[in-house]
Structure 1
């Protein structure tokens, strides 16, 4: 019985160490995965954000060595798009599927943006339900509203998720997802206000409005 318990403990530790390594943590993680973890965990907004068209994402470099794409990840970007769906992942991130048109269907190509727990902490205005409602995005079993998603503008860090282009296509929905480039983490959200004819900030605290 003691041997069985010891084996189970060893197996559990091995699984934990393997998971930590794949997440870019621990001494066994290779530099490319440690870099990816550091990029995902950024907790300060970019000092400046340059406008980047959604159509520009397919032209960003993929399947390069770390030195070939890391400089681009120092860029803060601001992207105008429509959020067709928003979903919660197992790691706590919210995944937003960005499309170029409010009429884009389920098979449309999309770019991914992610809101991390660090940016949602203490921010009830950025809960899944509130974001889905404000963006008019589908989530869970709910389809997008009939009038389509709302015009939005997202700001944050440019990030290349190497896993997306390294693993089999079905894992990351390649074929519809453009590539491994993302806005991750998203640090600011805005929605179009027809009455003001401009974008307004989507506040983290629902009692305040950023205009």
Structure 2
């Protein structure tokens, strides 16, 4: 487990894509692209990274069409996450017409073992435990919605099949009704003329 301690305030676990504020123990999960962006800035600490360089390295393995909007959105999201954790200093600098950088004045220390790692693991575990009920709730809701959709599809299919079955029956019924109506009408006409002939005779 490798953790980067940034600006004497933030722990960054790149493996789990988590940022933790040392002072208040607040933590936040990053998107994969946002985490990759921060990791690239940390690895290239002090170097100004051009937009093209970031796009090629952050979205390299993703089979998607990448635009400038993706680049700016990732930077905005990263800065937002840092602010949400209570960090007032924006250590990610934008150099006009050149790119972005974490300057050398911002100290970054690599942590691989010791009490700090244990503390980080405890915070991460606590976050996972707290998030678990909400995750299960979402999963149950999704499962319920899927079941409801399946049931709705089945009911619609049953209704469709029922209507298909009724259509030919309705046609036959209509045919027989017309046949009997015509037969009855013919019988009435026949009886009328017969009665008339009998009366004339």
- Give your verdict on TM over 0.5: no
TM-score, normalization: structure 1? 0.20
Query: Quick check: which has more Rg, 1 or 2?
Result: 2
Greater fraction strand: 1
Q: Which has the higher helix share?
A: 2
TM-score (norm. length: structure 2): 0.21
